[in-house]
Amino acid sequence: MTRDTTCVRVIFMKILRLCSLAMLLVCAIAHAEPKRVLVVTATEGFPHSSVVTAERVLSKLGTQSGAFKVVGVIRSGPRPADPEQAKAWTTKMEHDFAEMMSPAALNDYDAVIFANTTGELPIPDKDAFIAWVKAGHGFIGMHSATDTLHKYAPYIEMIGGEFLQHGPQVKVTCINQDIRHPATRRLGTTYEVFDEIYQFKNFHRDQVHGLLTLDKHPNNGTPGDYPIAWCKNFGKGKVIYTSLGHREEVWESPTYQDHILGAIRWALGLEQGDGTPQTTALVLGQRERIDGFQPLFNGVDLKNWSVRNTEKPSPWHTANGMLIESAADPINDLVTDKPHTDFILRFDYMVAGKGSSSMLLRGKYDVLDKVANPLPGAWQSVSITLIGDTVSLMINTTQVYDKRALSEVATEAPDSPSAEKSPIILQGGHGPVAYRNMRIRDLSGFDIRQLSGQGNYSYKVPKGKAKKVR
């Protein structure tokens, strides 16, 4: 037998062993026992009629996927009006919790699901429950799971937010914040749903990994941060929550079922996904970094900005990468700490209702005031080029005007002095309005005679040679 033949035989045997190991691994995974899950739909507060559908759907998802098995359900139904019946109802619920959520009983589960629970549930040892999740187990909450255990702060901290209020049921278009996560990867970039949409208190973006969100109020369209679903690493455990699921039709929807099945699989450790908080800081694209753009609003806080009147309350705040004036009162302008002369300024803005965007350049010229306001709730992309007293404005892909005198196209603010070097001013009293992705590039030294629209510009360089930049 030649040496080459021997080498081929050795390689073949190694490949054969690897294939055998792979087949054994596949078989082991295929025959792995499904994870054990406890479902809780009990309520001490508002009883959701959809809990019956929720129980059925969760059991079906476990059976069909083979990923988990519902090994127990703690249910209560509505509290009876009759005092004696209500007493018996309470006794039974306390017994069920004592039996199925005691510290010893929790050791029989891999995860616990709170599906549309409400109120102060009689968990026998709440501290032990929180410690159980933190030790490496899963917790999944749907809809009113955030309207549960308001009086027990560690639970609110664990789930990541607390129900505050809701308006009428409404159709919303949720923004998918993580298209790679198991809970959201099948939803597309947006997810349209008709449901009861919660608003929250005690919610902190820097403590959760966002999955679904809204950038405007579900009912009145006011710009802001309105989270829908999120997750978080919790010690060695995993916590995931979706506020959707009030309506039976939502639970019956295949899209929603994909959403919650992915959430359950992630919480059980069966699929990988990020559980760390995202940054809201503005990150510039490579082309703009090369061209010398800098963030004007950093996406996080009001650093490098100040209100004009420090003795009045500020209507301005930041949320999820947005700079927001949520109300027209009190009127107080927001001003950059640094003055600017010639520049390209790019940003997005969105108005709600009768809100508008008002930005003063050179201390007094509002270049957006004469522009027709867009439909409320739609983001508009803006590019402003200002050199000397000449301005160019592009909104989305439309060149509104090109190299026009400021005095011809802008509205002059009364009692505001003009200055070649002045701060950029966001005028108060025009909200609700939100800005995002604000970045600026200094154009000191550009030759106005060679400026052409919003495309390429010629920059003054030594020896009279023109250098093109974008």
User: Do 371 and 248 sit in the same domain of this protein?
Assistant: no
Give the whole-angstrom CA distance, residue 252 versus residue 268. Answer: 23
- Check which CATH number belongs to the domain holding 395 and give it: 2.60.120.560
pLDDT at position 376 = 81
User: Which whole-number Å values give the CA distances from 176 to 45, 213, 259, 379, in the listed order?
Assistant: 31, 7, 11, 16
Taking only the tens place, the pLDDT of each residue in 116-129 is 999 999 999 999 99
What is the rounded average pLDDT of the residues 232-253? 98
Same domain, 334 and 220: no
pLDDT given for residue 235 in this prediction: 98
Residues 141 and 173 in one domain: yes
Q: What pLDDT, on the 0 to 100 scale, is given for residue 455?
A: 43
How large is the average pLDDT for residues 352-367? 84
In a domain, 386, yes or no: yes
- Predicted confidence (pLDDT) per residue in 395-441, tens digit: 999 999 999 998 888 887 766 666 678 999 998 877 789 999 999 99
For residues 57 and 8, give the distance between their C-alpha atoms in angstroms, rounded to a whole number.
Answer: 54
At 462 the pLDDT is: 36
- Same domain membership, residue 306 and residue 396: yes
In a domain, 465, yes or no: yes
Sign, CA torsion 300/305/308/311? positive
CATH number where 97 lies: 3.40.50.880
Domain of residue 107 covers 33-267
Assess if residue 378 is contained within a domain. Answer: yes
pLDDT confidence of 354, banded at 50, 70, 90? confident
Beta strands in 262-361 (DSSP E): 294-295, 305-307, 316-319, 322-325, 334-336, 343-351, 359-361
Asked whether residue 21 is domain-assigned, the answer is: no
Task: Read off the pLDDT of each residue in 373-392 and give the average, rounded to a whole number.
Answer: 88
Closest C-alpha among 227, 50, 300, 45 to residue 148: 45
> pLDDT band for position 470 (50/70/90)?
very low
Provide the 10 A C-beta neighbour count for residue 415.
5
Tokens, residue 405: 């005198």
**So what's the pLDDT on residue 194?**
98
Q: Say which DSSP state 394 is in.
A: E
Residues 198 and 75 in one domain: yes
Over residues 203-220, the mean pLDDT reads 97
State whether 292 and 374 are in the same domain: yes
Output helix, strand, coil percentages for the chain, rounded to the nearest 5. 25, 30, 40
- Taking only the tens place, the pLDDT of each residue in 103-157 is 999 999 999 999 999 999 999 999 999 999 999 999 999 999 999 999 999 999 9
Which of the pair, 79 or 449, is modelled with greater confidence? 79
Q: Are residues 245 and 163 in the same domain?
A: yes
224, pLDDT greater than 90: yes
Q: Is the pLDDT of residue 2 over 70?
A: no
What b/e readout covers 183-200, taking b as 16+ CB neighbours within 10 angstroms?
Answer: bbbbbeeebebebbbbbb
Pairwise CA distance, residues 151 & 172, whole Å: 31
205 against 7, higher pLDDT? 205
Instruction: Provide the pLDDT for residue 363.
Output: 86
139 inside domain:
yes
pLDDT surpasses 50 at 463 = no
Enter the tokens of residue 55.
């129980």
Residue 304 identity: N
- 387 part of a folded domain: yes
Task: Answer with the one of 220, 237, 267 that is the final residue of a domain.
Answer: 267
pLDDT at 213 over 90: yes
Within 13 Å of residue 470, how many CA atoms lie on the same side as its CB? Answer: 5
Instruction: Name the E strands within 125-255.
Output: 138-142, 162-166, 170-176, 190-195, 198-201, 209-216, 223-234, 237-242
Q: How many domains are there within the chain?
A: 2
Last residue of a domain, one of 267, 302, 334: 267
353's CB contacts (< 8 A; 6+ apart) are 220, 221, 222, 376, 432
Tell me the pLDDT tens digit for each residue of 328-352: 667 889 999 999 999 999 999 998 8
Residue 348, phi then psi, degrees to nearest 5: -115, 150
| Average pLDDT value over all residues in the chain | 88
Residue 348 contacts residue 435 (beta carbons within 8 Å):
yes
Q: Is 166 helix (H, G, I), strand (E, B) or coil?
A: strand
Residue 273 has pLDDT above 70, yes or no: yes
C-alpha pair distances (Å), 407 with each of 268, 341, 404, 418, 425: 63, 16, 8, 11, 17
Q: In this structure, are 336 and 465 located in the same domain?
A: yes
pLDDT tens profile 15-66: 556 545 445 444 444 457 999 999 999 999 999 999 999 999 999 999 999 9
Is the pLDDT score of 280 beyond 90?
Answer: yes
What are 77's two structure tokens? 């139904």
For residue 336, being part of any structural domain is answered with: yes
In this structure, are 43 and 160 located in the same domain? yes
What the block records as the tokens of 328 is 């027209």
Query: Confidence band (pLDDT; 50, 70, 90) for 102?
Result: very high
Same domain membership, residue 237 and residue 315: no
Same domain, 45 and 171: yes
Is 24 part of a structural domain of the chain?
A: no
Q: Model confidence over 309-319: pLDDT tens digits? A: 888 888 899 99
> Within this chain, do residues 214 and 308 fall inside the same structural domain, yes or no?
no
